[in-house]
Structure 1
Amino acid sequence: MFNRLQQKWKVSAAQVGLILCTFAIGGSLTGYTGRKLMNLFDISPQWLWVVVYVVIVTIIWPLAVLLISIPFGQFRFFTKYLAKMGQRLGLGKPQPTIDNQNSKVKKIAIFASGAGSNAQKIIDHFKGNKEVEVAVIACNKPGAGVLNIAEKEGIPVLMIEKEPFFRGDAYVPVLKEKKIDLIVLAGFLWKIPDALISAFPRQIINIHPALLPKYGGKGMYGQFVHAAVVAAGEKESGITIHFVDEHYDHGDIIFQATCEVTSADTAETVAAKVHALEHQHFPRVVEEVLGRPASS
């Protein structure tokens, strides 16, 4: 059930729990307040009492859940939720979407499996940019740090599960519905299925923590890469940003940057140098790729 609610509300698992608590406590507060108010009136017959009670709790419930949502940190979610309910009931005009407001807005989907430091840098880079939006964060690991970033930044979450990703539709319909222009792999550890690559040709880019074609391929990620670089006595390492194709770390290279590797370096110190390069260059390259024609 939690997974279905995550997909429906596009939030993290932790946020689902907070939302459900808000619903439960808000509902209890609504019932309690409604009964207290009804005690102030002497209404008969019984059917009229029921009608008045229903009207009162219908008015109280939105106020109660908004009040309870504040300490749970879900005020933003419930304001949007209640606005959508109002629109469905014909109580307000639908708000224009970003696409209606500005058809030139480019939408990014960030795929990440871990802490999300690169995702945060990309989000920060595009804050205030009216032409680019980080529209969704996709993650394959419940509890990953990037989900906390998504919650903090108010960005919808798409939880990726193995079966639909590799043997189903690869979440292509969801991403197409969101009108995604570019998929950015920022520490996403699963191989991208052919179905997704076909649906987004030259619209998926990845950052690799080494100078491809060296130290790429299956199993070459994170500390494994840096340990291999140090063990081989390399004099330099760096980052490679490339388009994604059907093979691990194989697509056309977009950008590379290097850092020195000395005899005193360890896998950990090389990792720190490489992370600095990632944070420095990745957001800028993402912006440059967005500005290119899709076929280039």
Structure 2
Amino acid sequence: MAGNTQAGASSTVIGFIGTGIMGASMAGHLRKNGYEVHVYNRTKARAEGLLQQGAVWHDQPKDVAKHADVVITMLGYPSDVEQIYFGADGLLNNARDGAYFLDMTTSSPALAKRISQEAASKGLHALDAPVSGGDVGAREAKLSIMVGGDTQAFEAVKPLLDIMGTNVVHQGSAGAGQYTKMCNQITIASNMIGVSEALAYAKAAGLDQTQVLKSISSGAAGSWSLSNLAPRMIAGDFAPGFYVKHFVKDIRIALDSAAEMGLELPGLKLAQSLYEQLIEHGGDNDGTQALYRIIAGE
């Protein structure tokens, strides 16, 4: 289904909806690998780079679905996903026969299951495939991609996922990708508190924060956030690789699903309160590393 990328252009047509910080890079990798890519984004300007690479623009999401064998969505919120997939103008009601849908948005596991069921009832294939790695991972095609859904559908689209990521894992049935992404976000949330506190402590102790990183990044304290986001904290670079507002959305999804399972997550609740403080101070559109500002009192 996904064609032979080694031979250049594939007969598979890809639709990509949501060409923001990460989506633009992800769609760009597919285009560079020879795929015909059709795109839609609420703000057309954010797709200009792709259009210059030869991507085809559509004014409506449903028109992307009408032209594509595989439709990838990379949106902001579960409400966006629900709106774009369902209804008369939704993707599922305007799809090609046998089309594949990959929702790579970090969204609700329950919604992923609903999309999968609705798709199957129409003879379509739907997978939830959220990612981790931020803007850097998207740009360098080194994303970690967590996939839920039918095994055969996963195998059919895996060549596409391999173009965008280096760690592509099928986690189980529909919703499993989203549940796994919540595990990822839960880990990051508490870890980001630790990274921020460590740097604030180093500064208060009169240490060179960059020198401290040299000692602790490769030891037992090492983490992706410490290696990639701590330098941005030190530099005062709070530009988004992943928006605070989207991270808070993810935290709420994780807490809601944990509550459904009767599970308490005190560390995640603490992270939620701190990030909500950051939003109150105007940090909605900062990167998640901006938590340092709250911890350090900057």
Range into which the TM-score falls when normalised by the shorter chain: 0.3 to 0.5
TM-score, normalised with respect to structure 1:
0.33
Q: Which has the higher helix share?
A: 2
Question: Which of structures 1 and 2 has the bigger CA Rg?
Answer: 1
